[in-house]
Every structure is written in structure tokens, then in C-alpha cells.
Chain A
């Protein structure tokens, strides 16, 4: 399974865009880039995933570099409720399990 690396912590001002980077230089061709977040003491929440193309949904945008070695999760207008640990995971359905790192702890400040 591909290993992903993320900065341990980031800060963002409320109302500004939060850009969370992730490196996955050994990602396989069939592995998707998944993002989850976990608010304290809750179960992880799915955010978005992508394979090659950039993706957008109601929660966030995912930008994947052309060589697929890195990606950025963008929360366009961060709110205090976006304070959480964000996990980037390289995953293909045939792997059958998500391999989690330590994630990025995002603090959104008023």
C-alpha cells in the first residue's frame, strides 16, 4: 500500500481557504486518493476521493498533480466546525483496508 505523508498540523483563519497537502509518491495506478476527517471522539467522516482528475463536492475540492505524486484538499471557506484531523489515504478496493497515517490536525481560528 502506498504511504502518504502529511504535515502534522496547520492553522487557518475562519472564512479563508484551507489547503491541506499530501504526498503519495509511490501510489499505484489503481489506487485512489481518499480524504477523511475526524472530529474529536467521533468516527471518521468521508470527504472526497479521486483517481486522476480534480474533484469537487459540497464539502471540498481535491487537486491531484498530473504525476499523481501529491494532492491538495481545499476547504474553500473554513469554519470553526472544520477543526479536525484530516487523513489522506491511497486506497484501491482490492486492498480491502484503509491504511491510516497520523493525518494533519487543522485548527480553524476565529
Chain B
């Protein structure tokens, strides 16, 4: 399968612990996005990379959150000192800008539960 992959699929952690999620985009895609989705809501944008440059961050992304895409390929999203409010599905998407738009393809998500 050559789609977007995310690891782990599920993560349970205790409040105050740090967690890191990984996203592997479709290989030729130059854009990578992170979204967060809570129950009953649509996904909310967190941040976006074009190649290795992080070009935009949402105000939702507090200073406890950090994302990297060191070589313009895979990306990691780290949450430090997790809080119960961080419990959500974290979604990664990738795209290739071509013409007037880029179609984002999503991975299966990482479901985080903070106890």
C-alpha cells in the first residue's frame, strides 16, 4: 500500500507524559499536514509543511506541541506534558501541489487517550 501511514494507531498515556507520533506521506508528495479531530467534530488544522519548511501553525498548537519534518519526508508530532484535553484523533495528510490546487490524502490517524 502506498498511501499515507501513521504510527502508532492508538496511544494511551497518563497525564503529564510526552508522546510522539509519526507520519509517512505518499513518497512524491511535498506537502504534509497535521489535523486534530475530537468526537463529533470535523478535523481542525494544526500545522503544515512544504518540503522541510513548517509554513503555518494554528493557534491551537500550544507551546507543548511541536512538529518536525527533518528531511522533507516523514514527520513527527510531539506533545509534551499531555493533558486530558489532548485526547483526540491526530490525522496526517499529504499532497502534491499541481496546477491550481492540491488534493490532500489522509492516513488512518493516531487515536490518543490521556488518562
Which of the candidate stretches A14-22, A63-71, A74-82, A94-102 sits at the interface with the other chain? A94-102
B93 to chain A, nearest CB (A): 8
Identify B43's interface contact among A44, A46, A51, CB under 8 A.
A44
Say yes or no: A43 contacts B107, CB within 8 Å.
Answer: yes
A99 to B58, CA, bound (A): 12
Interface size counted on chain A using CB atoms at 8 A? 24
Does B48 lie within 8 Å of A96, measured CB to CB? yes
Residue of A nearest to B3 (CB): A43
Task: Say whether B48 contacts A49, CB under 8 Å.
Answer: no
Q: How far is the CA of A46 from the CA of B56 in the complex (A)?
A: 23
Return chain A residues, CB-CB under 8 Å to B111: 41
CA distance A36 to B104 in the complex (A): 10
For residue B100, CB closer than 8 A to chain A, the reply is yes
Whether A97 contacts B106 in the complex (CB less than 8 A), given A44-B91, A51-B100, comes out as no
Please give me the residue from chain B that is nearest to A30 by CB atom: B100
The tally of CB-CB contacts under 8 A between chains A and B is 59
User: B2 interface residue, CB < 8 Å from A?
Assistant: no
The contact size tier of chain B is 20 to 34
Q: Which of B40, B101, B106 has the most CB of A within 10 A?
A: B101
A93 within 8 Å of B (CB atoms): yes
Is the Cβ of A96 less than 8 Å from the Cβ of B100?
A: no
Chain A hits for B93, CB < 8 A = 44
Question: Do the beta carbons of B45 and A93 come within 8 Å of each other?
Answer: no
When each residue 69-97 of chain B gets 1 if its CB lies under 8 Å from chain A and 0 otherwise, what string results?
00000000000000000000101010001
- Give the one of A43, A46, A96, A103 with max B CB within 10 A: A43
Given contacts A98-B33, A100-B44, 7 further A-B contacts (CB under 8 A): A43-B108, A51-B100, A93-B97, A93-B102, A96-B56, A98-B45, A102-B41
